[in-house]
């Protein structure tokens, strides 16, 4: 995914919505978004700590439910 593709996917969402990272479809957790930094020809989004299990609603929205 490119920066432009990420921006395009986020367009249309309210700017006040929180952004979280969803990780590991088979044992889904959610994480706070950390620092964002360039390194070479890429941009990295760091995680700033695990919050807990991903909600069922989010799991379904991502297509991760079984």
Instruction: Render the burial of 4-27: b for 16+ CB within 10 Å, e for the rest.
Output: eeeeeeeeeeeeeeeeebbeeeee
Tens of pLDDT, residue by residue, the chain (66 residues)? 999 999 999 999 999 999 999 999 999 999 999 999 999 999 999 999 999 999 999 999 999 987
Range of the domain at 31: 15-61
Tell me if 7 is assigned to some domain. Answer: no
Tell me if 66 is assigned to some domain. Answer: no
- Count how many domains the chain has: 1
């Amino acid at each position: 995914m490119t920066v432009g593709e990420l921006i395009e996917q986020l367009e249309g969402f309210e700017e006040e919505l929180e952004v979280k990272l969803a990780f590991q479809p088979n044992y889904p957790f959610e994480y706070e978004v950390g620092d964002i930094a360039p390194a070479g020809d890429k941009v990295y989004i760091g995680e700033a700590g695990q919050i807990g299990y991903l909600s069922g609603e989010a799991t379904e929205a991502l297509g991760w439910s079984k």
